[in-house]
Amino acid sequence: DIVHMKLAHINWQDGILHLFGKGQREDCLPLPQDAGDAILDYIEKSRPPTNIAEVFLCLNAPYRPFTSSVAVSNLVAHAITRSGISPPASCGAHLLRHSAATQMLRSGATLETVSSMLRHRTQDMTGYYAKVDFPMLEKVVQPWPGEMTC
C-alpha cells in the first residue's frame, strides 16, 4: 500500500493515513507519532525535491515512484542483509507485516485489532499470524477433555 501512498493521503492534523488497497478499498488508520516523525524526516531530509504526488520515490534521478511492491521487498531484503541478521526464509515486505502482527499479538492486541490494522477482510486471515506465536498459544491452550485412550 505504501507504494501508492500519496502526500495528500496523510492527514497530519488528525494523525490519520488514508490507504487505498485492493479494489480501491479505502481505509483510515492512525498515524502513530513515531511513524509520522519518520515520514516527516524522510520528506524533509531524504525525499528528492519534486512535485510527484507519491510519498516514497526512487532516490536516483530520474525521480519516480516505485512501480510495484517488489521494490519495497528488495529494500527490506537489502536492509536485513546490511543489518547482519540471519535472513529468514522470506525477507520481503511481507516480513514487515508478519513481524508487526506478531509483535502486536505478543503485546496483548486482539486478533480483531490486528486484523483491522492489517486491513484483512476476515479475522481468519489474521489467525495465520497467531499460529506462529507459540508463547501466546501456550497461555491459551486448554487441556484435552476426557482421558486419552492412546
**C-alpha–C-alpha distance, residues 51 and 88, integer Å:** 37
Q: Which three cell numbers stand for residue 39?
A: 515520514
Eight-class DSSP state of 132? T
Q: What is the pLDDT of residues 7-23, one digit of tens each?
A: 999 999 999 999 887 66
CA angle 21, 57, 120 (to 5 degrees): 20
The residues that bridge with 30 in the sheet, in sequence order, are 16
The residues that bridge with 19 in the sheet, in sequence order, are 27
User: Regarding predicted confidence, which is higher, 129 or 49?
Assistant: 49
Closest alpha carbon to 6 in 68, 52, 40, 44: 52
Q: What is the pLDDT of residues 133-143, one digit of tens each?
A: 566 667 766 77
Q: What is the pLDDT of residues 81-122, one digit of tens each?
A: 888 887 677 767 777 888 888 888 888 888 888 888 888 878
pTM over 0.85: no
Helix axes 93-106, 69-83, angle to 10 degrees: 70
